[in-house]
Amino acid sequence: MKFTKMQGAGNDYVYVDCFAQPTPADPAALARAISDRHFGVGGDGLILICPVESSDGADAEMRMYNADGSYSEMCGNGIRCVAKYVYDHGIVRRDVLNIASGGRNFALEVQVEADKVQQVRVDMGEPILTADKIPTTLPGNPPVDAELTIGERTFAATSVSMGNPHCVIFVDEATDELVHGFGPRVEHAPQFPKRVNVEWAQVLDRGRVKQRTWERGSGETFACGTGACAVCVAGVLTDRTDRRLHVELLGGELQLHWNGADNHVYMTGPAVEVFSGEWPRYD
């Protein structure tokens, strides 16, 4: 099975072109094996680039699996890389591509230099702000600085969904103790029936934050695109930041804009092809 390793702001996945070869029979098992950084290729998960089965106007479908094999509805950094692959490898060549993921279509504007995509601007759509659709049992629609008690600590949590659930916690500093000590505990907290991605966000000023993310099913990652979108939304809801926001991540920087005119969140960031190879088997 041929694969391509790609990354967006350090959020790295193994990509399989299912236009050119069969779809893996057991993508969850493949994700667990191929994502292993010691015994596999290594990555935050597996992304399949698939032909669209229904005539919904999409150029391709992204199917994303976390490193633990669990399916995820959306990945903001991953979908930028899918757009780069689709354009660079000649599957579809247009300035704006439509990629399906998790039952939704996303418009991606590619920025090309020397015939290769360098940056991608994604229309991430409207944030989901209704608690039972996020889903979370925290109070509020959406929960804004709601009390979330995890063991001996109580946090002010703002929860939104960008097609996948997020819990944003603003802190003075995103320490290892918070990210690794409390991140997995928040992910599995009973207030989040489908588990949750956890963003620890440090506000530098109204236009810039630092973010570390504990991703559902993958642990800490170098970047989380949907998480950066969630931080942008949460910053506005809590009046900590403006609608245009630069987000500093371990692997790079993303630019966010929660547009008040259409209520959509727009994200711009890099997409990089690292290398290609061949996996010895299908799982």
Catalytic residue among 81, 167, 224, 229: 224
Give the whole-angstrom CA distance, residue 127 versus residue 204. 23
Catalytic residue among 75, 167, 229, 232: 75
CB 81 within 8 A of CB 48: no
Local confidence pLDDT in tens for the 283 residues of the chain? 999 999 999 999 999 999 999 999 999 999 999 999 999 999 999 999 999 977 578 999 999 999 999 999 999 999 999 999 999 999 999 999 999 999 999 999 999 999 999 999 999 999 999 999 999 999 999 999 999 999 999 999 999 999 999 999 999 999 999 999 999 999 999 999 999 999 999 999 999 999 999 999 999 999 999 999 999 999 999 999 999 999 999 999 999 999 999 999 999 999 999 999 999 975 5
CATH architecture of 131-263: Roll (3.10)
What's the whole-model pTM score?
A: 0.92
Asked whether this chain's domains 2-125+270-278 and 131-263 adopt the same fold, the reply is: yes
| 75 tagged catalytic | yes
Q: Does domain 2-125+270-278 have CATH number 3.40.50.2000?
A: no
First to last CA, the chain: 10
Q: Where are the domains of the chain?
A: 2-125+270-278, 131-263
| 50 tagged catalytic | no
Note the pLDDT of residue 56: 76
Token pair for 249: 């991540």
CB 254 within 8 A of CB 230: no
Burial (CB count <10 Å: 0-12, 13-18, 19+), residue 141: exposed
Give the whole-angstrom CA distance, residue 67 versus residue 169. 24
Give the whole-angstrom CA distance, residue 58 versus residue 187. 32
**Residue 233: enclosing H or E segment and its boundaries?**
helix 225-237
Closest CA to 49 of 76, 84, 25: 84
Give the whole-angstrom CA distance, residue 92 versus residue 77. 19
